[in-house]
């Protein structure tokens, strides 16, 4: 069975500082990894994904994530946080099986960026 762990319920960071939202995963074989963001009263929005190739993936709004196979991690990062980045962030994993399979989401991490 595949699973995702987001160990922090909430991350607090000051505007202008770098941010990291942590994610580790468990899956049989090679993973497809995703980050989504959810703003209040909205659906989830896709940020970025890792499929294969370069371990550093760049996505929307200046976010990036680094795939680390040995640590089974896919942490989300941004060099300089904005107050508008405050939202709920979800990491998700799907097994690379070549067939339709479901996406498993983590429990979410709330990012709070303050002035």
Partner 1 sequence: DAGVIQSPRHEVTEMGQEVTLRCKLISGHNSLFWYRQTMMRGLELLIYFNNNVPIDDSGMPEDRFSAKMPNASFSTLKIQPSEPRDSAVYFCASSPTSGGHYNEQFFGPGTRLTVL
Q: Which two tokens mark 65?
A: 């994530």
β-strand pairing of 10-14 with 104-105: unpaired
Write the interaction track for partner 1 spanning residues 59-98; mark x where CB under 8 A is met and - where it is not: -------------------------------x---x-xxx
Nearer to partner 1, 81 or 111 (CB): 111
β-strand pairing of 73-78 with 87-95: unpaired
d(CA 109, CA 97): 28
58 binds partner 1 (CB under 8 A): no
Nearer to partner 1, 15 or 72 (CB): 72
Minimum Å distance from CB 71 to partner 1? Answer: 21
């Amino acid at each position: 069975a595949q699973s995702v762990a987001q160990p922090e319920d909430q991350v607090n960071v000051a505007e202008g500082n770098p941010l990291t939202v942590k994610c580790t995963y468990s899956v049989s074989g090679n993973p497809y990894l995703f980050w989504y963001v959810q703003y209040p009263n909205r659906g989830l929005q896709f940020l970025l994904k890792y499929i294969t190739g370069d371990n550093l993936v760049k996505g929307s709004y200046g976010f990036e994530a680094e795939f680390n196979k040995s640590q089974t991690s896919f942490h989300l990062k941004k060099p300089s946080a904005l107050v508008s980045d405050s939202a709920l962030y979800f990491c998700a994993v799907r097994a690379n099986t070549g067939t339709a399979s479901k996406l498993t989401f983590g429990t979410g991490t709330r990012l709070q960026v303050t002035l």
